[in-house]
Amino acid sequence: MIVVLAAVWWLNASSDRTAEEDNASIISEQKSIIIPDFTQSALAGEIAFNGSCAVCHGTNAVGTEQGPPLIHKFYGPRRHADYAFVIAAKSGVRAHHWRFGNMPPVEGITDDKIQLIITYIREIQAANGI
């Protein structure tokens, strides 16, 4: 088991302190995450995630300037069922929770890869009580 420190750059990343302030206060609750021992499916999902999603959602899905953290209670199984991940990857997402902008559809993503990515994200979420 490894503990990874998540960057909290967004705390002072913006001069717009309205909605982003809310985002920052939510995200700042989560300063580090626990990386579990992954199943084989999750390891395959990690590779797919790093190839297709990490550019915006960050290594270990802790977020970047281009996309929100998926290791976050917003994206836990009770708030965003697996199907939300399928729709997001295939059709994209209109900005609604944050101010990162829209998520475009992910080119070349397959159903199999999405399922592996979901397994990967859910295993990290579970290790972090999400």
For binding to ligand HEC (CB under 6 A), which residues are involved? 52-53, 55-57, 66-68, 75, 80, 84-85, 88-89, 93, 95-98, 100-101, 103-104, 106, 109, 117
Instruction: Give me the residue label for tokens 């915006």.
Output: 56
CA-based end-to-end distance of the chain: 17
Residue 55 has which token pair? Answer: 């550019």
- Min CB(10)–ligand HEC separation in Å: 13
44 or 53: CB nearest ligand HEC = 53
- Min CB(17)–ligand HEC separation in Å: 18
Cα angle for residues 109, 115, 121 (degrees, 5° grid): 105
